Amino acid sequence: MGRRTGSDRRTTRGRLPGDHWARYVRTLDPDTDHVEIQRKIAMHEFPWDMTQALSFALFRTYAVPGIGRLLHETGQFTGDTQKRYDDTTLLLEPPVRYGFSDPTARAAIRRINQMHHAHDIPDHEMRYVLSTFVVVPKRWLDVYGKRPLTAREVRASVNYYRELGRHMGIREIPENYAGFARLMDEYEAQHFAHDAGGRAVADATLDLLTTFYPRPLRGAVRLFSLALMDDPLLEAFGYSKPPRAVVAISRGALRARGRLLRHFPARKEPFSVEQSPNVKGYPQGYRVEELGTFGAASGLPGVPGCPVAHDVRPASPAA
């Protein structure tokens, strides 16, 4: 075996071992350091997985007729799907990136609340959506991640989303993961149903997701996405179940990816959604308080821009 050069040694010394962030999280308290732990989960340890899982979490909410129908009636998720995707991802990130006390995070949560308050959304729907943010990522990582979340990470995630829910004025938030999982599963069993509006929003979202890939691959990407959906979700949207072989290959490929990533070094720098090439609507940057919708129903014809401007610099996301 040849000797390493000086540059090779420097590169090796500069790498973080694959379990670096898991070991770091073990030094933190999930009750007081939940934002920091969630930041490491979302922006260092599992950025790609969390993006996919949260996308599927939101996708599940369209199968609830009350939610899917409202989103369709606004016309935003079918008329300008790319902007809705960009706004959603950009508004959800500041609390985990900066912490809830940061001005940018407060501006993002205020913008989310302004949009929600423009509509008569029942509290049980808000609580259900919050539950998907807790449960779907854990279940995704249990199956497809390079490792499952630890008990400490799960508790931190619960605490993080409980705090987010409180900032959004959601009542009767579950106190632990078991409560969130029970809420989500029971709610879906009771409420999942076909609705033309929900199906239209789902179709528009699937169409958008395919545009993130070269045109020749878009049909395969759509089929791959359907293969990751469970039967109740497919039935609610009226989608045909993909062939068993397609399901097995699609899910097997994701599990293989997870196993492969166990051999890679840990990410040093945090990955922000601003770096994603899939966020396309703000090439010149954006202001948090100008994201989202400002319809007549909101009573908000315009609001002052957030004093913090953010430049969007698309870059290739890490696997």
- Structure confidence by residue, pLDDT tens digits, 20-46: 999 999 999 999 999 999 999 999 999
**pLDDT at residue 13, rounded to an integer:** 56
Contact 247, 225 (CB under 8 A): no
Cβ atoms of 123 and 163 closer than 8 Å: no
Residue 220 carries which side chain, given as an amino acid letter?
A
Residue position matching structure tokens 């969130």: 180
Q: Rounded distance, CA 192 to CA 179, Å? A: 19
Taking the domains of the chain in order of start, what are their residue ranges?
Answer: 28-264
pLDDT per residue as tens digits for the range 217-269? 999 999 999 999 999 999 999 999 999 999 999 999 999 999 999 999 999 99
Residue 47 has pLDDT above 90, yes or no: yes
Nearest to 165 by CA among 119, 125, 192: 125
> Which amino acid makes up residue 87?
D
Q: What is the mean pLDDT of residues 141-157?
A: 98
Q: How crowded is residue 110: how many other Cβ atoms within 10 Å of its Cβ?
A: 16
C-alpha–C-alpha distance, residues 128 and 188, integer Å: 9
Residue 43 DSSP one-character state:
I
Q: CB-based burial of residue 48 (10 Å sphere; 0-12 exposed, 13-18 middle, 19+ buried)?
A: middle
pLDDT in tens, 176-219: 999 999 999 999 999 999 999 999 999 999 999 999 999 999 99
Is the pTM here over 0.85, yes or no?
yes
Per-residue confidence band for 132, with pLDDT thresholds at 50, 70 and 90: very high
Note the pLDDT tens digit of each residue in 2-25: 333 333 333 345 799 999 999 999
Burial 67-85 (b: 16+ CB within 10 A, else e): bbbbbbebebbbeebebbb
Q: Is the pLDDT of residue 301 over 70?
A: no
Task: Classify burial at 290, counting beta carbons within 10 Å of its beta carbon; exposed 0-12, middle 13-18, buried 19 or more.
Answer: middle
Residue 78 pLDDT class (50, 70, 90 cuts): confident
pLDDT recorded at residue 281: 82
Q: For the chain, what percent of residues have pLDDT higher than 90?
A: 75
312 has a pLDDT exceeding 50: no
The DSSP H or E segment spanning 310 is strand 309-310
